[in-house]
Amino acid sequence: MAETLRDALDQYLAHLTVERGLSVNTTSAYRRDLARYVGYLEARGVEVPADVTAAHVQEFVVALRSGGDGRAVLSASSTARCLAAVRGWHGFCEGEGLAAANPAHDVRAPARERRLPKAISVEDVGRLLEAAGAGEGAVPVRDAALLELVYSTGARISEAVSLDIDDLDLDGDAPAVRLFGKGRKERVVPVGSFAARAVGAYLVCSRPELAARGRGTPAVFLNARGARMSRQSAWAVLRGAAERAGLGAHVSPHTLRHSFATHLLAGGADVRVVQELLGHASVTTTQLYTLVTPDALREVYAATHPRALG
């Protein structure tokens, strides 16, 4: 008997976790997108992967953008993400002999809006980092070290809280950190002197106090119970510091990462170097940071053109 859609989906999710080593969060995102897709197919009488056609996939894309399947309308970028998951699943089914071809192979995603990543100024970063370390005790020292390291390396919040002690190399003249990005892709990123000092102070003065409350963990950043910090806890640290610095409305979990890239490029860094530092698979993603806003164009024009102002 041919594998049902849901059997094939379970096999694919297991493949993502075991063989490709994707994180729990990434696999959960695939599960949500593909469960919606499988439900859509089942409602149309499709029972096995071999019966799915390109028309089914294209109609699903339309449903995502219109809410035609009775679910929430997705943006163009979210629809593209969902289609990528669908394409990957069908490719798996083809490779496993569950279908003769990949019906999603030639289905195109809707055009995405090109949004500039949000970044804050160097001055605002300084205010944010100062606010993070305000107060007494081990926690403010930890918070300052966490945000200094994120800004210094362009790490994702999830990458920072996943760090173990062995991933740090702060000795010598070239401090660096080993980060594991999406799909556990490894990269080594330099650590600036401010961050190296902040993390060093935390490791010596504050981490031992936090570690004494737990059962022992190699994690760099610990919570108040001595266990590894979660992404949610790290986000709360960033949000709290932003509010104290008066930046609450302008800060998101990726703000320091975006600011890191924007400030490097503004300082003259090559886009491909920034791509490597960020761990982007494609330079196209990094190039979003090089786009200049209309306001910035007007400001430069007004300040530099000899006949801009009369």
299 located within any domain: no
272 located within any domain: yes
Residues 51 and 191 grouped into a single domain: no
- Domain containing 204 — which CATH number? 1.10.443.10
Residues 74 and 152 grouped into a single domain: no
Residues 276 and 173 grouped into a single domain: yes
End-to-end CA distance of the chain: 81
Residues 33 and 182 grouped into a single domain: no
Q: What is the pLDDT along the chain (310 residues), one digit of tens a residue?
A: 468 999 999 999 999 999 888 888 889 999 999 999 999 999 999 999 999 999 999 999 999 999 989 999 998 889 999 999 999 999 999 999 999 999 999 999 887 666 666 789 999 999 999 999 999 999 999 999 999 999 999 999 999 999 999 999 998 889 999 999 877 789 999 999 999 999 999 999 999 999 999 999 999 999 999 999 999 999 999 999 999 999 977 788 889 999 998 898 888 888 888 898 988 877 777 777 776 545 555 666 677 767 666 5
Residues 139 and 281 grouped into a single domain: yes
111 located within any domain: no
Among 135, 119, 131, which Cα is nearest to 245's?
Answer: 131
303 located within any domain: no
Instruction: Give me the domain span that covers residue 37.
Output: 5-95
- Would you say 102 and 131 are in contact if contact means Cβ atoms under 8 Å apart? no
User: Using CA atoms, how far apart are residues 28 and 11, in angstroms rounded to an integer?
Assistant: 14
Residues 72 and 203 grouped into a single domain: no
- Domain containing 70 — which CATH number? 1.10.150
Determine the pLDDT at residue 185: 84
The total number of structural domains in the chain stands at: 2
Residues 289 and 210 grouped into a single domain: yes
Last residue of a domain, one of 77, 95, 113: 95
* pLDDT tens-digit series, residues 9-49: 999 999 999 988 888 888 999 999 999 999 999 999 999 99
pTM of the model: 0.62
- Would you say 286 and 271 are in contact if contact means Cβ atoms under 8 Å apart? yes
Residues 35 and 75 grouped into a single domain: yes
244 located within any domain: yes
Q: Where are the alpha helices (DSSP H) in 19-75?
A: 24-43, 54-66
Among 138, 162, 136, which Cα is nearest to 149's?
Answer: 162
User: Using CA atoms, how far apart are residues 19 and 98, in angstroms rounded to an integer?
Assistant: 19
228 located within any domain: yes
Determine the pLDDT at residue 309: 63
107 located within any domain: no
Residues 140 and 270 grouped into a single domain: yes
211 located within any domain: yes
Determine the pLDDT at residue 1: 44
User: Using CA atoms, how far apart are residues 147 and 155, in angstroms rounded to an integer?
Assistant: 10
Residues 63 and 155 grouped into a single domain: no
Looking at the annotation, which residues are catalytic? 156, 182, 254, 257, 280, 289
Residues 63 and 136 grouped into a single domain: no
Last residue of a domain, one of 95, 130, 149: 95
Residues 51 and 127 grouped into a single domain: no
Among 79, 77, 93, 2, which Cα is nearest to 40's?
Answer: 79
